Amino acid sequence: MRILLDENLPESLVAALRRLGHQVDPVNSLRLKGLDNGALYRQVAQNYDLCFTKDTGFVNNVRQIQTPSRVKLLRVSLPQQPARILVDNFVVTFQRTDWSTYENGHDWPRP
């Protein structure tokens, strides 16, 4: 699976997801930090299967786009916690998720 991580997620998440066999790119390593969310979504995210962010505004803006997309932009709703704990919880939850039940703009994980 190809995964794009927004700049508001910990860098340590990249290695954790790569260990699971996924291709992962953080926005920061692509030198796109600070790029307008709409441009990021239209120009870059389309090359990925999943894009994770904690930015509610980003998700709300994308929900307004009517053009179908192959990427699922998901707002990470895990509680704020130290990066090490967040990454561990993210990976466990990621492995248990049925991605076919999620659509673009959903919160992940569901309560």
- Domain ranges in the chain are 2-108
Q: What does the pLDDT read at residue 68?
A: 65
Which residues 6+ apart lie within 8 Å of 15 measured at CB?
A: none
> What pLDDT is attached to residue 89?
97
Residue 42 has what pLDDT? 75
Can you list the residues of the chain whose pLDDT is less than 70?
A: 32, 66, 68
- Specify the pLDDT at position 77: 96
Cβ neighbours of residue 78 closer than 8 Å, sequence gap 6 or more: 86, 89, 90, 93, 109
pLDDT at residue 61, as a whole number: 83
pLDDT in tens, 74-90: 999 999 999 999 999 99
Name residue, tokens 């307004």: 64
The CATH classification number of 2-108 equals 3.40.50
